[in-house]
Amino acid sequence: MPSFFLLSVPCILVAWMLLASSSSSPDEEKLIRVLVLLPKDNSYLFSLARVKPAIEYAVRSQQENGTCLPGYRFEVIYEDSECGNRALFSLVDLVALKQQKPDLLLGPVCEYAAAPVARLASHWNLPMISAGALATGFSTKTGEYSHLTRVSPAYSKMGEMFLALFRHHKWSRATLLYSDNNQERNCYFTMEGVHVVFQEEAFPMAVHSFDESGRYLDLDEIVRSIQAGERVVIMCASGDTIRNIMLAAHRQGMTNGDYAFFNIELFNSSSYGNGSWKRGDKHDLEAKQAYSSLQTVTLLRTVKPEFERFSMEVKSSVQKQGLNEDDYINMFVEGFHDAILLYALALREVLKYGFSKKDGDKIVHQTRNRTYEGIAGQVSIDANGDRYGDFSVIAMTNPEAGTQEVIGDYYGKQGRFEIRSNVKYPWGPGKLRIDENRVLEHTNNTPCKSCGLGESAVTGIVVGALLGAGLLMAFYFFRKKYRITIERRSQQEECNVGKHRQLREDSIRSHFSAA
């Protein structure tokens, strides 16, 4: 009898407290509603079909492991974001029409889809975690993007990698060459990450863009723009376009060590190319030679034992949906898995301090400035809520066989660039002749001895001619730049209807203010 009494009192008390505490049922309180906003279209590396198995895997491992969030359940809702405004509409519809406010937003990845969702997330105090939204504009977390945490390295982190690489080589000027199409503008945002970092260092830059989706791509013009620019060339375009540019540069004799080419290829998938020169066509031999002066920047790959199981499961789920490809795991798939883990860790902390899942800002705060174990290795989020990036540089280490290997790695948290010790570095001393002051030297070495005029007159003429040429060039470039900017702007006005304007204009401002 006494034991029954002892047992039943706390039970009754608990039941009474639960009934009285709030109008929402205890079920509802321990239910974490996750809204995933990603495109259905499988041409995206981060389509729902590709990412869903990773999210399910993470949710399952969280629920199997009762120690992390005891009693909590996840309910995951998947909605098509279409890489556009559909993302915002899905969120609004869920809240306004179905009366269900999510506790966590995962995605969107596309910049123009993510921007309005991020604004609404801060307005409604909802944590938003994305493996995308990599543009530099999202780094400003004080205002409208306050609730966004990025679990993949943003483009500006890649910019920091280039800065470390440039410091390593003692370079301080660059040509940025990228493909841009006014749609999703991936390469534009990628290059912007480099531009912003270089601009802070006051590195002189030559910036050129082209539209590779156009019917006719003028490779000669691209090569001429490289020749008119700096000796270190950073490029972003599809794998095939990079190969065509390298072939054209090779034919102009620009692959003998006078230029250093870099290709940004973060996601290593069939749709972005795999950094290889090989295509099985008649240009393979030339391409192999050309690629000896090309280095590819990619994400540093790490794996650990659990990763194998994860990738097997994701692979079989994706295959069941009829997708057959080379690599099933990419940065986005990994990132969204790790996003669930990060949220669970943050929520656990918040609960410990006596807050609830409704305290979005508290949860967001807990996602920042922390390091945790992701599915493929350690994930470090900086105090601003952006993941530190680790990157690798791949180069051709054997020009005869054309083999490419990782030659160096950048560790973002430490800000350290390291050349791997066990590889033969292709650009040994004397092999790479990057002379950043080439143009200057030419003009200084103007032969004067044979000139019939007096030295001062020659100096005057040379200086005058240089000044004139400089002015003409300045005028020309100014006009050209100006025109490009205007064209961009007016094209934007047309195809921008409904897209996120401010992000775009911010980006443009930051991008072109140095031009």
Ligand X SMILES: *[C@@H]1O[C@H](CO)[C@@H](O)[C@H](O)[C@H]1NC(C)=O
State the residues that interact with ligand X by CB under 6 A: 65, 67-68, 265, 268, 274-276, 278-279, 296, 298, 326-327, 369, 383, 394
Smaller CB separation from ligand X, 42 or 274: 274
Query: Shortest distance, CB of residue 44 to ligand X, whole angstroms?
Result: 18
Cα(496)–Cα(492) distance, rounded to whole angstroms? 5
Shortest distance (Å) from residue 299 CB to ligand X: 8
Q: How far apart are CA 253 and CA 490, in angstroms?
A: 38
For residue 72, the SS3 value is coil
CB 314 within 8 A of CB 58: no
Q: With respect to ligand X, which residue has the nearer C-beta, 229 or 275?
A: 275
For tokens 């039970």, name the residue.
Answer: 11
Q: What are the DSSP E strand ranges found in 140-219?
A: 148-150, 174-179, 205-210
- Peptide bond just before 108 cis, omega within 30 deg: yes
What DSSP string describes 10-46? HHHHHHHHHHHH-SS-HHHHTEEEEEEEE-S-TTSTT
Minimal distance, residue 240 CB to ligand X, in Å = 8
Q: Which is nearer to ligand X, 118 or 381 (CB)?
A: 381
Question: At its nearest, how many Å lie between ligand X and the CB of residue 89?
Answer: 36
Q: Which two three-digit tokens encode residue 95?
A: 């809240």
Between 120 and 131, CB nearer to ligand X = 131
d(C-alpha 76, C-alpha 57), whole Å: 12
Least distance (Å) between residue 67 CB and ligand X: 5
Which is closer to ligand X, CB of 124 or CB of 425? 425
Q: For the chain, report the end-to-end CA distance as a whole number of angstroms.
A: 86
E-assigned strands of 185-228? 205-210
Taking the complex as a whole, how short is the minimal distance between the CB of residue 330 and ligand X, in angstroms? 10
What amino acid occupies position 375? Answer: I
Q: Is 81 or 292 the residue whose CB approaches ligand X more closely? A: 292
Is there a contact between 318 and 50 (Cβ–Cβ < 8 Å)? Answer: yes
Least Å distance between CB 396 and ligand X?
Answer: 12
CB 369 within 8 A of CB 380: no
Q: How many CA atoms, within 13 angstroms, populate the side-chain half-sphere of residue 252?
A: 18
**CB closer to ligand X, 275 vs 408:** 275
Cβ at position 311, least distance to ligand X in Å: 11
Q: Are strands 403-411 and 416-419 parallel, antiparallel or unpaired?
A: antiparallel
Shortest Å distance, C-beta 372 to ligand X: 9
392 vs 507 by CB, closer to ligand X: 392
Q: Which residue has the tokens 């309005």?
A: 116
Which residue, 259 or 328, is less far from ligand X as judged by CB?
328
